[in-house]
Amino acid sequence: GLTLGYMSLDTTQLQVLSKTGNEKQRKAAQKVLPLRSNGHLLLITLLIANMLFNETLPVIAESVMGGGIQAVVASTVLVIIFAEIIPQTVCSRFGLQIGAAMVPFVRVIIYVFFVVAWPVAKLLEFLLGAHEGIVYRRAELKELVAMHATSAGHGDLQTDTVTIVGATLDLQAKVVRDAMTPLSSVFSLPIDTKLDYSTLGRILKAGHSRIPVYEERLRRKIIGVLLTKQLILLDPEDAVPLRDIPMSSLPKVSEDLPLLQILNTFQEGRSHIAAV
C-alpha cells in the first residue's frame, strides 16, 4: 500500500502543495517530498520490505496451523486482504496523509535495507534516469487550466480567467503578424487635417488615445502619433492645423517579431503603438 501511495505522489504536485496548499497539506508535502525525491531508492526499499512480508507470512501461518492446505489458504487470504486490498485502497485515497504519517517508519526501513537497495537504485537511475516530476508543455498546461473552469464543472476558475490565461500562454508562439490591425481598419489622420469641430468629433467618436498621422495621400507613410490628450486645450473654432501639434515618434517593427518582445517594448513606456 505504501508503494502505491508514495509512487502516486508526483514531486511536482508535492512542490506545489508545499507552497500553496492549506496548512495540513503543506506540512504533509514537506515531510514526503525529501523521500519522494529519491524515487528509485524509495521504490526498491518498499518492494524489498513487501516481498519479505509476503514471504514471511506463509511461514508463520504454517508454523501456527501445522502446515497443510489450511495454512496455504489462510496465508493467501491474509496477504490478499491485509497486504494488498486494504492497504492499496486506503493509500490510493489518502496517499499524502498516510505517506506523511509513515515517513519515520519508512526512513527506518530505508536505513535497514540501504546496503541492498542503494546499489539497485543507482543502477535503475543509470539505466532509466532519475525520477522527475511532471512538467507540462504549453498546450497541456492550457488544457489543464481549461479543465479547472467552472463551466467544465471541475474547478473554480471563471471563464474569463481561463480565457486570459490561455491567451497569455499563446503569446509565446505568436508573432506581430498574428495580432496586428490592418492599416485599412486603423483610424488615422492626414498631416494637413484641421482640428475643427468635425475632426475633433471624429476623434471623440473613435475613442482612441493615440492616433497615427500620415502624409497627405500617402497613408502608408506614417510620420508620427498624435496623443489625444494634447487636444484638451484646443479651441475647435481656431481649426489649428494638425501639423502644428507635437507628435510622438512611431517605432517600426518586423511582422515576424515575437509578441512577447513587442509587449516588453510597450511596457517600457516609450511607445504603446508600432508600425509593421
Same domain, 110 and 202: no
Say whether both 143 and 200 belong to one domain.
Answer: no
Mean pLDDT of 136-160: 74
Tens-place pLDDT, residues 222-242: 888 888 888 888 888 888 888
Q: Specify whether 153 is located in the same domain as 167.
A: yes
The answer on pLDDT for 55 being more than 80 is no
Task: Quote the CA–CA distance of 104 and 190 in Å, as a whole number.
Answer: 78
Paired with 258 in beta bridges are: 175
Same domain, 114 and 29: yes
Residue pair 219/259 in contact by the 8 Å Cβ criterion: no
Domain identity same for 121 and 18: yes
- For the packed helices 23-37 and 103-112, what is the interaxial angle rounded to 10 degrees? 10
Whether residue 82 lies inside any domain: the answer is: yes
Q: Are residues 115 and 201 in the same domain?
A: no
112 and 151 assigned to the same domain: no
* CATH code, domain with 260: 3.10.580.10
Q: Please, what is the average pLDDT of the chain?
A: 80
pLDDT, residue 224, reads 85
Confidence class for position 152, pLDDT limits 50, 70, 90:
low
Q: Is residue 275 part of a domain?
A: no
Q: Do 101 and 187 belong together in one domain?
A: no
pLDDT of residue 184: 81
The verdict on residue 272 lying in a domain is: no
Lowest mean pLDDT among 117-126, 203-212, 216-225: 216-225
Residue 208 lies in a domain: yes
72 versus 234: the higher-pLDDT residue is: 234
Asked if residue 165 and residue 222 are part of one domain, the reply reads: no
Separation between Cα atoms, residue 242 and residue 25, nearest integer Å: 64
Q: Which domain holds residue 182?
A: 176-267
Residues 6+ apart with CB under 8 A from 256: 175, 176, 177
Domain total for the chain? 3
Q: Flag whether 197 is in a domain.
A: yes
Q: Examine residue 217 and state whether it is found in any structural domain, yes or no.
A: yes
Inform me whether the pLDDT recorded for 128 exceeds 60.
yes
CA distances from 229 to 12, 124, 197, 200, 210 (A): 50, 68, 16, 12, 9
Last residue of some domain: 94, 128, 162?
Answer: 128
Final residue of a domain: which of 128, 146, 165? 128
Q: How confident is the model at residue 65 (pLDDT cuts 50, 70, 90)?
A: low
The x, y and z cell numbers of residue 234, run together, are 484646443
Secondary structure letter of residue 268 according to DSSP: T
Residue 115 neighbours by CB distance under 10 Å: 8
Same domain membership, residue 66 and residue 8? yes
Mind listing the pLDDT tens digit for each residue in 245-255?
888 888 888 88
User: Same domain for 157 and 109?
Assistant: no
What pLDDT, on the 0 to 100 scale, is given for residue 109? 86
Average pLDDT over residues 99-116: 86
Instruction: Give residue 256's pLDDT band: very low, low, confident or very high (50, 70, 90).
Output: confident
Is residue 273 situated within a structural domain?
A: no
| Mean of pLDDT values over 120-145 | 78
pLDDT for position 61: 63
Which of 33-47, 70-84, 185-199 shows the lowest mean pLDDT across its residues?
A: 70-84
pTM of the model: 0.57
Please count the other Cβ atoms lying within 10 Å of the Cβ belonging to residue 276.
16
User: Residue 44 corresponds to which cell in the numbers above?
Assistant: 526498491
Q: Is residue 85 part of a domain?
A: yes
| One domain, residues 148 and 226 | no
CA of 117: how far to CAs of 41, 62, 100, 105, in Å? Answer: 6, 29, 21, 16
